[in-house]
Amino acid sequence: MLQFLQRTVRTSVVIQEIQPNFKVKGQRFSSEELKRLFNELVEASLAVWLNANTIEITENWTDGQNGQD
């Protein structure tokens, strides 16, 4: 997921918008699976929830940093 977001240069991501385009090894993900992946980014402090289906990438990540010291 992180590599996909880096390639597409997104600052906010809505599940319904990326669901048709996000695939791993040819497999698409359900909205619940994507929500779980979003939550992993939030837990890693790489993003914050804006609403139930949207995350925003944190500023330090968009600057090309991984949020870790």
The CATH number, out of the four listed (1.10.10.60, 1.10.1240.10, 1.10.10.570, 3.40.190.10), of the domain defined by the range 2-62 = 1.10.10.570
pLDDT in tens, 13-68: 899 988 888 888 889 999 999 999 999 999 999 999 999 999 998 876 544 544 44
pTM of the model: 0.77
Is the CB of residue 61 less than 8 Å from the CB of residue 49? no
Structural domain boundaries in the chain: 2-62
